[in-house]
Amino acid sequence: MRLELRHLQIVCAIADNGSVTKAASALGLAQPALTAQLQRIERSLGGPLFERDRRGARPTALGELVLARARVVLPAVQDLQEEAARLVTDGDGTRCYRIGSVNGPILSGLVRRLASADPHAQLVTQISWSPVELANQLAAGRLDFVLVGVCGNASPPTDHDLSWRLLAVDAVFVLLADTHPLAGRQEVDLADLAGVQWAATPGESCFLACFVAACARAGFTPRQVYESDVRTCIELAESGDAVVLCQASFRPPPGLVSVPIAGAPLRWRHLLGWHPAASAAKYADVIAGNAVDAYRDAVARLPRLVRWLDGRPNFGAEPAAG
C-alpha cells in the first residue's frame, strides 16, 4: 500500500484525539474501519505507530517520526491547494466552486443557478452523509463550501474555525405509500404510528435521540430505525415495510406521499459552511443567496408543503428566529 495524504490525516487525528474511538468520531468513520485502516498504515510503514491500552493511544518512536513529517506536509498541501484555487479564480477570471453536500434539497438547484449565472465557472461537487467529513474537507482546503444538515438546535461541526449560515429549516415528515391507511390525512400523530418499523437516511447529530424522545412524549418506544440510502428508504416505504422519516422538502416519487407530523416535533436545519480565511470566502454571500433561492424552488414544487408553511414563520427558507 502506498502512503497517501489521507493516511497522514488519520495518524494526526488519532494523536490529536488520544484514541482511535475519538478519532473515528471526529472523522465521521466507524471505529472498526479506522482501526483496520491504521493497521494497514502500520504494515506499510513497518511497525506500530501507537501504543494502545485503556488509557488511549500514545505515539511510538515511529509514530512521532510520522507525526513530525505529517504536520509539515499537510499544511503545505493545504496552502498549495488554496494557492491553486486563487490562481484559477484570479489568474484567468474563471471562478471555481468546490461544493460538498449531504442529502438535501439544495445542491442541484444551487449548481443550476451558478452555472446559469456564469457558464464558464468550474463546478465540482462532492456528496457525503457525514457533516463532519465535509467540515474536515472544508478545513483542509479541499472544498470551498459545504451544505450540511443538523437536527433541531444542534451545532454544526465545531472542530475547525469555520463560518456557518442558516439557510432554511425543514420540519420532519413521514413518507408513506399512497395506499397506507394514514396517507390521506392532513397530518398524522406519532402515536398513530406506534409499532411500525421506521427507516431514515444515515446521519450524525442527535436526530435519532430526538426522534426517540418525541415518541416517548407521544407515549411509546419506537422500534429500531433502519438507516439506509435514499433509494432503499423509498423501496421500504413503497412496499409498506417501513415508515420513512424525511425532510419536508423531499419530493416523493409517484406512489408515495409525505405527511406532516402533528405539532412538528422534529426539525432539520440546512446550513452553508465555509472557511473565513479561504479565498472563496468572498463569494459566501453569492453562494448563500443562490442556495436559499434553490431551496425556495424545491419548496415551490410541493404545493402541500407550501400550504403547510403558511403561518409557520419558523420553518422554510431563512426562517424567523425562535
Q: What is the pLDDT of residue 86?
A: 54
* CATH of the domain spanning 94-322, picked from 3.90.45.10, 3.40.50.10470, 1.10.10.10, 3.40.190.290: 3.40.190.290
Q: What is the pLDDT of residue 84?
A: 63
Task: Note the Cα 124 to chain centre separation in Å.
Answer: 17
List where CATH 1.10.10.10 sits in the chain: 5-74
Q: What is the pLDDT of residue 85?
A: 56
Length of the chain: 322
Q: What is the pLDDT of residue 126?
A: 92
To 10 degrees, the CA torsion angle through 142, 147, 150, 155?
60
* CATH of the domain spanning 5-74, picked from 3.40.50.300, 1.10.10.10, 3.20.20.70, 2.40.37.10: 1.10.10.10
Separation between Cα atoms, residue 223 and residue 212, nearest integer Å: 9
Q: What is the pLDDT of residue 82?
A: 64
- Helices of type H across 202-319: 207-217, 230-239, 284-300, 303-309
* 321: CB partners within 8 A, 6+ apart: none
Low pLDDT (below 50) residues in the chain: 90, 322
List where CATH 3.40.190.290 sits in the chain: 94-322
Q: What is the pLDDT of residue 3?
A: 85
Dihedral pair phi/psi, residue 42, rounded to 5° = -65, -40
Tens digit of each residue's pLDDT (9 = 90 or more) over 251-261: 999 999 999 99
94 secondary structure, DSSP code: -
pTM: 0.72
Q: What is the pLDDT of residue 83?
A: 64
Q: In 3-state terms, what secondary structure has residue 28? A: coil
Q: In 3-state terms, what secondary structure has residue 49? A: coil
Q: What is the pLDDT of residue 93?
A: 58
Separation between Cα atoms, residue 69 and residue 59, nearest integer Å: 13
Sign of CA dihedral 105, 107, 108, 112: positive
Q: Please state at what angle helix 284-300 crosses helix 107-117, rounded to 10 degrees.
A: 120
Q: In 3-state terms, what secondary structure has residue 229? A: coil
Long-range contacts of 70-74 (CB under 8 A, 24+ apart): 70/8, 70/9, 70/11, 70/12, 71/12, 73/5, 73/8, 74/5, 74/8, 74/9, 74/12, 74/140
